[in-house]
Structure 1
Amino acid sequence: MGWLVTDHALVRKVLADSRFSRELANQPRVARLSTEVLPSAAILATDPPRHTGLRTLIAPMFAPRQVAAMEPAVTALALRLVDELVGGGEPADIVAGFTEPFAAAVVCEIFGVPKSFRDQVFALGDALTARDATSESLAAARAECESLARAMATENPTGLFGLLGESAEADEEVLNLIIACLIGGRGSPTVFLSSAVFALLREPHHFRHLVERPESIPAAVEELLRFVPVGVGGGFTRVATVDVQLGPVLVRTGDAVIPAMHAAGRDPCVFDDPDTLVLDREARLPHLAFGHGTHYCVGAGLARLEARIALETLTTRLPGLRLADPADPGTWRTGRVVRSLERLDVAWTRD
């Protein structure tokens, strides 16, 4: 039995209420929108207190002071990638030329991933997020990820990599943290930035708004986080540990509950004209792009920094940025558990 929750207030309740378990939901026969069953040690498959311990290991890397200290390097990276994009001539694919390498480089820098390993890491990430993945292919990709993480640790025994070798149980937890952070840290920002740029260019007045009013970019980032689908459409399933009254429905013990964060972000009771992109909404929107409660995204601050710097760089360096073909619907990836652009051709000079 599974319930799909779309109401904003009820989605928040499911995400924050300890009576809804992620750990119990990580089973093959529980209703879900992805084929993958995570290892029991994976941070996304745990409840407190185990989840709290795992989060404590990575939280210092995403502390506000650490994130703020990265701003000069992230800005320099964005500027270099835009210069390279322009150097290659137009039209250019902004996914391959900017959003994807930008997101990948940022997460690799924060975790100290040696450059020689980066392509392998992300190829395995694609294998783990394939919609047609089988239990066998997922197990093989995850095992290869673990081997790769150990190999990376020999080159850079610091940070999370430096925690490997303490014990077999601890290693399993650390390896799963490395996999989750690297794959999520590249995938989600790429999906978001690519779709955000598309949303801004599809209706060109939105991009011009940011060019003319750069001070509005932080608020625009929050609206884009509300408006653009980023993760799995139904979030991560929970299972009720007791009977819970959820709005008009009595959810029974053992029932699966799927919190639809994207739908919650379009709840007309919370957001006026929710299906319209409105860049000058209030700066602190109650969107759920980063989740809520125990599993609130630990990298939210870094994601906001990346998005702000990406938009500041594009609007400053390429104020004439536009779709190469105004009618282009974009090329979207198929066979993925997350909706994402594969290619988006842009131009930046006027005839």
Structure 2
Amino acid sequence: MVFTDTDAVFDFNPMIAPHRQDPHLFYRAARERPISLSPSIGAYMVSRCADIRAVLDDPTTFSSAAAVPLMYDNPPEVVEVLKAGNVPETTAVVNEDEPGHRQMRALFDAAVRGARVRAMLPLMHRRAGELIDGFTGATADLVSEYAIPYVQAIISAVIGFPPEDTEQIQVWTDDVTTLWNPLAPLEDRVASARRMGDYTRYLQDLIDDRKADPRDDMISVLVHGANGFPGVSDDYVHNIVRGAARVAGFDTTRDAITATVLVALQNPAVRAGIIDDPARTIPKVTEEVQRRDAPHRGLFRIATREVELGGTVLAKGSLLLLLFGSANRDETVFPDPDAVDLSRPNVHDHLAFGTGLHACPGAPLARAEIRVALQTLFGRLPGLRLADGYTPTYVASYFFRGLESLYVSTHDRLVQSRGLSHRTI
């Protein structure tokens, strides 16, 4: 394919305006064009649902080896600091092709599905209630005061992190995402690399502890094995825990919860359904919001041979970014894609959790977290509304799309505490 000057300026940069606030400006235009190279990302932007599914259905032609960047792919200044800290790095679960993917995926599944999800439900209910009890003012930020501490508590319990270490673990987790982000300033990446040595030593202490004293947590599963597979090496435990588990298990669920609450507060019928019939409404609104406002922007693939995709010939070694958020609003698959439609018949065809070989193993856990967060919030605060003057703004993030804040009025709860009905407000 021959590129023109117009192609060169057809760029996507989710860190800055206008795509930071509304990436769908780019997505809509991209779906009308041949697959193009983004100079900022350094990859071809795959935006149409059919093209993305074609890639996901052909892991032989489109390798997952570069699904997320490696820390050691950073500039020499960063790599030098990582080496000094003895920071290990292997391929992550999401970066593995078959057959290596099979063992790590089986262990990951054992740690985040079925009985383990059910075992987390009491913690979910308890933590959600505690956080709502902590809303002491007339307004609350549901990002910092609800979604963040709620998801942190759950993912820490799943992995096996002591709850008292949550604040420090979050700093290290943010460092990992910074090191994955080729658009982050170099000085920020160097600073994050310096802290990775401490994170490595901390994780190794937990790994050594679980070797001697297994517990009911992900670290123990990865160390000792499950589902008929043996455990993995310490280096793999480091990579899985700090990446696929802690980063993906936190950011996406946090953003999914706040996106769903925002949609409910902006749509009176949706909110009424959550309050009056939560068992029926919450699963529907969860899937529709995952489709409409996917919290994860997408993953990379590498072409293992020359191949044509969506009318564009890609050379062997070409890097592609699969824009799941764009596929989820593809007009050819989801009519009136920007609308919130709880009766959408094909809503489960969305790609917010991926599909195929690398479909998100944590999807059942995330859905449970979202359900409990919504049911508890609207059950306790049925008069909840957006704070006066609130306007949604979004974080500058390479991989994730999430609200910076979600300010709501909690006046209803204060009135109820005096024995009055919220209908008197």
TM range (shorter): 0.7 to 0.9
Higher Cα radius of gyration: 2
How far residue 165 of structure 1 moved from its aligned partner, in angstroms, is 10
Matched, 1:69 2:133: no
- Distance 1:201-1:311 versus aligned 2 partners, 3 A rule: same
Match of 2:143 in 1: 95
> Aligned equivalents of 2:285 and 2:275: distance in 1?
12
> Aligned equivalents of 1:225 and 1:308: distance in 2?
13
> Aligned equivalents of 2:47 and 2:177: distance in 1?
24
Match of 2:33 in 1: none
> Aligned equivalents of 2:240 and 2:69: distance in 1?
19
Match of 1:190 in 2: 254
> Aligned equivalents of 1:125 and 1:24: distance in 2?
20
> Aligned equivalents of 1:335 and 1:265: distance in 2?
19
Q: Look up the SS of the partner of 2:320 in the other structure.
A: strand
Q: Look up the SS of the partner of 2:286 in the other structure.
A: helix
Q: Pick from 391, 401, 411 the counterpart of residue 329 of structure 1.
A: 391
Q: Pick from 47, 55, 63 the counterpart of residue 97 of structure 2.
A: 47
> Aligned equivalents of 1:291 and 1:340: distance in 2?
18
Matched, 1:81 2:131: yes
- Distance 1:64-1:224 versus aligned 2 partners, 3 A rule: same
> Aligned equivalents of 2:130 and 2:383: distance in 1?
18
Match of 1:223 in 2: 288
Match of 1:150 in 2: 204
Match of 2:323 in 1: 260
> Aligned equivalents of 1:41 and 1:141: distance in 2?
21
How far residue 333 of structure 1 moved from its aligned partner, in angstroms, is 3.0
How far residue 339 of structure 1 moved from its aligned partner, in angstroms, is 2.8
Percent identical among aligned pairs is 30
After TM superposition, the score normalised by the length of structure 2 is 0.72
After TM superposition, the score normalised by the length of structure 1 is 0.86
> Aligned equivalents of 2:203 and 2:400: distance in 1?
24
Q: Look up the SS of the partner of 2:299 in the other structure.
A: coil
How far residue 25 of structure 1 moved from its aligned partner, in angstroms, is 6.3
- Distance 1:260-1:308 versus aligned 2 partners, 3 A rule: same
Q: Pick from 30, 36, 47 the counterpart of residue 6 of structure 1.
A: 47
Higher relative contact order at CA 8 Å, sep ≥6: structure 1 or structure 2? Answer: 1
CA displacement 1:165-207 (0-9 Å, x = unmatched): 99xx811111111112022212211111122212222344432
Matched, 1:108 2:156: yes
How far residue 129 of structure 1 moved from its aligned partner, in angstroms, is 2.2
> Aligned equivalents of 2:270 and 2:199: distance in 1?
40
- Distance 1:286-1:102 versus aligned 2 partners, 3 A rule: same
> Aligned equivalents of 1:283 and 1:84: distance in 2?
39
> Aligned equivalents of 2:157 and 2:218: distance in 1?
13
> Aligned equivalents of 1:201 and 1:153: distance in 2?
43
Count of matched residue positions in the alignment of Structure 1 and Structure 2: 340
Match of 1:199 in 2: 263
Amino acid at match of 2:265: L
Q: Pick from 51, 62, 67 the counterpart of residue 20 of structure 1.
A: 62
Match of 1:32 in 2: none
How far residue 80 of structure 1 moved from its aligned partner, in angstroms, is 2.4
> Aligned equivalents of 1:339 and 1:24: distance in 2?
20
Q: Is the 8 A contact 2:90 2:235 kept in 1?
A: no
CA displacement 1:210-243 (0-9 Å, x = unmatched): 2233222111110011011312x3x121111122
Match of 2:379 in 1: 316
Amino acid at match of 1:146: T
State how 1:250-289 maps to structure 2 within 5 Å: 250-282=313-345, 285-289=348-352
Q: Is the 8 A contact 1:219 1:283 kept in 2?
A: no
Q: Is the 8 A contact 1:195 1:228 kept in 2?
A: yes
- Distance 1:297-1:323 versus aligned 2 partners, 3 A rule: same
CA displacement 1:294-314 (0-9 Å, x = unmatched): 211110000011111111112
> Aligned equivalents of 1:292 and 1:141: distance in 2?
34
Q: Is the 8 A contact 2:299 2:321 kept in 1?
A: yes
Matched, 1:118 2:176: no
RMSD of equivalent CA atoms: 3.0
Q: Look up the SS of the partner of 1:237 in the other structure.
A: strand
How far residue 65 of structure 1 moved from its aligned partner, in angstroms, is 3.0
Point out where structure 1 has 5 or more consecutive residues left out of the alignment: 29-35
Point out where structure 2 has 5 or more consecutive residues left out of the alignment: 1-36, 38-42, 71-77, 80-87, 226-231, 413-421
- Distance 1:24-1:336 versus aligned 2 partners, 3 A rule: closer
- Distance 1:25-1:176 versus aligned 2 partners, 3 A rule: closer
Q: Is the 8 A contact 1:122 1:183 kept in 2?
A: no
Matched, 1:128 2:176: yes
Amino acid at match of 1:339: R
Amino acid at match of 1:173: Y
Amino acid at match of 1:330: P
